[in-house]
Amino acid sequence: MRQWLVDTNVLLDVIGADTVFGERSKAVLSRCAEQGVLVVNPVILAEVAALLDSLEELEALLPEALFRRDPIPLAASFLAGQAYRRYKRQGGAKSRMLADFLIGAHAAVTGLDLISRDEGYSAYFTLTVLNPARG
């Protein structure tokens, strides 16, 4: 059974009814949920929660019946730190990238595919990225 880690940007497309990507992201999530398991981790949950007012709202938007909650393995945390260090040494200017590296490393270490509109993950991790923006 296939398993997909769902990046925050895709969830926000659907939750916020993004006029450009909302329907595409919703269609990809629906198709993947029919074929396998959708997964979120604490970083993704925290990023979504930053836009909400209550835990109940978070649970309603991302129900456990649809989104399995997985912890981030220690090996993924280490890999994320190494990738972030490489990013900074290569001149990466964004200072809030560590969350993205944790998401990418989690998918890479656990063998999950990643649903994301950010294909930059592939520059740092060996993984499959399913981009809803591509159709």
Does pLDDT of 97 surpass 90? no
pLDDT band with cut points at 50, 70 and 90 for residue 98: confident
**H helices present in 55-134, as ranges:** 55-61, 74-89, 98-110
Structural domain spans, the chain = 2-134
Distance of CA 89 to the CA centre of its chain: 24
Question: Percentage of the chain surpassing pLDDT 90?
Answer: 85
* pLDDT score recorded for residue 47: 95
pLDDT in tens, 27-79: 999 999 999 999 999 999 999 999 999 999 999 999 999 999 999 999 999 99
Conformational region of residue 15, where left means phi above 0, alpha means psi within -120 to 50, and beta covers everything else: alpha
pLDDT of residue 92: 82
- Written as six digits, the tokens of 100 are 């993205």
Give the burial string for 14-44 (b: 16+ CB within 10 Å, else e).
bbeebeebbebbbebbeebeeeebbbbbebb
How far is residue 10 from each of residues 21, 75, 88, 92, 103, measured CA to CA in Å?
Answer: 8, 25, 25, 23, 13
State what percent of residues in the chain have pLDDT above 70.
98
Amino acid 95: pLDDT: 67
> What's the mean per-residue pLDDT of the chain?
94
For domain 2-134, give the CATH number: 3.40.50.1010
Beta-strand relationship, 113-115 and 67-69? unpaired
Q: Cα Rg for the chain, rounded, in angstroms?
A: 14
